[in-house]
Amino acid sequence: MSTPNSNFYKKDIVPVSIFALIFLTMPLWFSWIGGYGGLDTKIVIWVIFAVGFDLLLGYMGYLSFGHAAFFGTSAYVTGLMLLHYSDNIIPAFFMGVLAAVIMALIIGQLTLKRSGIYFSILTLAFGEMLHSLVLSTLQDWTGGDNGLTGLPTPMLFDLKMQGHNVYYLAVFIAIIMYYLARRIVRSPFGLMLSAIKTNPTRLEYTGVNVARYKLAGFVISAAYAGVAGALMIIYEPYVASEFMGWHLSGQVVIMSVIGGIGTLFGPMIGAAFMLYFENVASVALGGAWLLVLGLIFMFIVIFLPGGFVEAGRKVRARFFGGAS
């Protein structure tokens, strides 16, 4: 399996190149469709978050309602590092992601031993525990409700991390993360994750240590959330307490499901759609845009469980014959 042949790598070259091309050229055409500068960076960050979330939900079949815990932990640690240690983003970024991974190890130990339903409930609960800690017990460190303010401009050595600099940094990291996700999914390890989704009991009987694979899948997914959280602070040096809240966890759930889970690119489309929709629809609908989004989400869950990706497949099958 692991003998690399050229064919094996070729499978990744085309999709990753398309991905890179779209995002590297995005600043050129994004304003034509009504996007503002900065929204593109946010989309890239959320795309990273959604890809990692899909590894957990789409491939392993575990629905987390507490992924804000990892996004937020990383965001706060990144912010605190920038504030108290150095305005260089490299130590801040790595400490942020490391903190998210450690948090995932702890929460994973507590939540993963039970079934899927239990997992959803408990991730929501522990996510809210961290949210309430940030707002109350730890508020001397986190700034409580006001968030962590007064961060310096993040620097990459002598380069100010603003505007296009942040954008291209985020795209560079996103390309790597997307490539890694594709490799993970097709690796023996990824196969194990899919097997956990299909039949964990049978997998256990074949002598596989399922608990360890589950924890590994969970931690990897949390690391993606951590990368996204750290980048969010580098993009906009302010840590909002909402970064820990269930709303953020709910957002990544909604965008992944709308796009189509278990495909990696579905959640990316979902992320881009949701941020773009927020930007466009909040002008037309005001505060009701979230209501509309909720209705779209319910419609998709009820009638189109595969999301946009399934819709695309259906359309293709109808007009060009033969399902792909």
DSSP state of 159: E
- How many other C-beta atoms lie within 10 A of the C-beta of residue 214? 22
117, 125 in Cβ contact below 8 A? no
Nearer to another protein, 179 or 289 (CB): 289
* C-alpha–C-alpha distance, residues 163 and 201, integer Å: 50
Alpha-carbon torsion angle 140, 250, 75, 271, nearest 10: -160
CB of 259 to another protein, least distance (A): 13
DSSP state of 156: E
Nearer to another protein, 39 or 124 (CB): 124
User: Considering only residues 85-144, where is the footprint of another protein by CB under 8 A?
Assistant: 110, 113-118, 120-122, 124-126, 128-129, 132-133, 136-137
The helix or strand, by DSSP H or E, that contains position 258, with its residue range, turns out to be helix 246-259
The reply on whether position 199 binds another protein by CB under 8 A is no
User: Considering only residues 233-292, where is the footprint of another protein by CB under 8 A?
Assistant: 246, 250, 253-254, 257, 287-288, 290-291
112, 215 in Cβ contact below 8 A? yes
CB of 294 to another protein, least distance (A): 4
Nearer to another protein, 127 or 154 (CB): 127
Binding residue (CB under 8 A) for another protein from 19, 46, 65, 76: 65
Per the listing, tokens 């992320």 go with: 271
DSSP symbols for 145-182: GG-B--PPPPEETTEE--THHHHHHHHHHHHHHHHHHH
Nearer to another protein, 2 or 198 (CB): 198
CB of 282 to another protein, least distance (A): 13
Which amino acid is located at 227 in the chain? V
Question: Contact positions toward another protein, by CB under 8 A?
Answer: 57, 61, 63, 65, 110, 113-118, 120-122, 124-126, 128-129, 132-133, 136-137, 246, 250, 253-254, 257, 287-288, 290-291, 293-295, 297-298, 301-302, 305
